[in-house]
Amino acid sequence: MFIEELNYTFVEIPAGPFTMGTYPDGIRKTDPEEPQRSVTLDAFAIGIYHVTNAQYMQFVNASGYRQPAYMIDERFNEPDYPVVGVSWYDTIKFLEWIAKLTGLTYRLPSEAEWEKAARGTDGREYPWGNEWDATKANTSESKLKRLTPVGCYPEGISPFGCYDMGGNAYDWCSDWFHAETYKHSPADNPMGAVEGRRKVIRGGSWLPRGKYAARCANRAAYEPIRTVHNVGFRLAIDLE
């Protein structure tokens, strides 16, 4: 799949089960990642890359919407960097714009969809496998202290072919965060808590805690009004 107007490519994720969450003795286990369980999702498609500054600026220039935060900072403002400094609500405005432009309904991935796209169906620890490797993602261990262009780490891609799911920038997800979501949500197409104070982010970033934040099962969250220099987003769409 492809959005010609944005030069944005998707990969299709087939329907079926995958292993979500972490065992109690997993690497840097946290209670919000338990219990580990089998979750089944309908088929969907997700962006191979983050939405970039260049793609987001098409929206800004066409609509007059405000620019992302940090656009004057050279660590974050190159055209092929993931767009960061956008709130969860900003991403919704972008989605509304691209829907009008294309006639199709795009959305943010749920955190279950994000995790399946990142780890595949074998329960791996990182998008590339079970062993930590600082050369396969832009994390604090890279010591760059900035973003890198999307797609710079081809050896760190996920089993489904998605890039930067273990570093560079987190992704906003559609779900409200709740610490006990996994204990109560359904095993089929879970959508997270029905309300909350923070929205889920997934994927690790260039900031510290790289080894732990880059794990496929790692969960984090920010208030949806926050504009943070290590959180971006990628698109998802339902498949018939």
User: Which band of pLDDT confidence, cut at 50, 70 and 90, is reported for residue 1?
Assistant: low
User: Does residue 27 carry a pLDDT above 70?
Assistant: no
Question: For residue 171, what is the domain's CATH number?
Answer: 3.90.1580.10
* Overall average pLDDT of the 40-48 stretch: 98
**Residue from 187, 200, 210 nearest 233 by CA:** 200
**Residue from 162, 120, 115 nearest 137 by CA:** 162
Residue-level pLDDT at 211: 86
Q: How far apart are CA 62 and CA 56, in angstroms?
A: 10
Mode of pairing for the β-strands spanning 8-13 and 16-20: unpaired
Number of separate domains in the chain: 1
* CA angle in degrees (0–180, nearest 5) for 69-222-155: 80
* Overall average pLDDT of the 38-60 stretch: 98
User: Does residue 26 carry a pLDDT above 80?
Assistant: no
Contact residues for 96 (Cβ-Cβ < 8 A; gap 6+) = none
The domain containing residue 105 runs over which residues?
2-238
Q: How far is CA 43 from CA 49, 70, 237, in A?
A: 19, 35, 9
User: Does residue 167 carry a pLDDT above 80?
Assistant: yes
pLDDT tens digits along 190-229: 998 889 999 999 999 999 877 889 999 999 999 999 999 9
CB of 166 closer than 8 Å to CB of 159:
no
The share of the chain scoring above pLDDT 90, in percent, equals 88
Q: How far apart are CA 43 and CA 16, in angstroms?
A: 8
CB of 203 closer than 8 Å to CB of 119:
no
Residue-level pLDDT at 240: 72
pLDDT tens digits along 142-153: 999 999 999 999
* Overall average pLDDT of the 107-134 stretch: 97
- The structure's pTM equals 0.96
Tokens of 47: 């962006």
**Residue from 235, 238, 239 nearest 83 by CA:** 235
User: Does residue 107 carry a pLDDT above 70?
Assistant: yes
Contact residues for 84 (Cβ-Cβ < 8 A; gap 6+) = 68, 69, 70, 76, 147, 169, 228, 229, 230, 231, 232
Is 46 strand, coil or helix? strand
pLDDT tens digits along 169-201: 999 999 999 999 999 999 999 998 889 999 999
* Overall average pLDDT of the 91-105 stretch: 96
User: Does residue 28 carry a pLDDT above 70?
Assistant: no
CB of 129 closer than 8 Å to CB of 158:
no
